[in-house]
Structure 1
Amino acid sequence: MNILIPVDCNSRHEAIISAIEEANYWAYIDLDEGRIVNCDFFKDRKEANCWIDYIIVINETDYIVDFKQKEIAVLSANEEKSIDEIVESFLLEKLKPLKC
């Protein structure tokens, strides 16, 4: 399973989710059996030429139409900020699905 998250920096343990317009990097998370097996960072989300199952955004006010047109599921983080917090909530199905 692959997740894309807009973040403020390119360090897995320091990165904090940010609004899409303010993202300095995009964290590309590869999950396998509930564990993060890889975390890559891209300056531009278009650099992630891999399959994306989910995009996780900071809230429902982020512009998500592009992702919905590509039929990528979009989830909203609640109070989670770090990559590990977001992934944990994702695995526990605590993130809110967004619709256009």
Structure 2
Amino acid sequence: MAELTNALRMSPRSVTHPKGTEKLDGAIILAILAVAGVAAIFLFSVKGLLDQVPDVIDSASRARAAWQRFKLAGDGATKAKEQPLSAQLTELPSHAQHDQEPPAAA
């Protein structure tokens, strides 16, 4: 009869989980959460870098075009020195164009 009384007093948790595994369960959960957090930060960083790729390519092509224009202008620099200063100046923007609002940033 004493054995039956002791068996009834035991909690269901003590039967299914050996003693001392509560700390291990918490550590496993923390490890899973830590790995998931690191993966989320890594994916967020990669996405941010990949979002910038098209802008970098556009900027590189604009820089390359500007460099080519600069090199071509360097070849024509001697011709420009021979022209009078009034022929070298370009038309200045009118006041109506100058007073416009600057374009909004994207």
> Same fold, TM exceeding 0.5?
no
TM-score with structure 2 length normalisation? 0.15
TM-score with structure 1 length normalisation? 0.15
Q: Which has the higher helix share?
A: 2
- Which structure's CA Rg is the greater one? 2
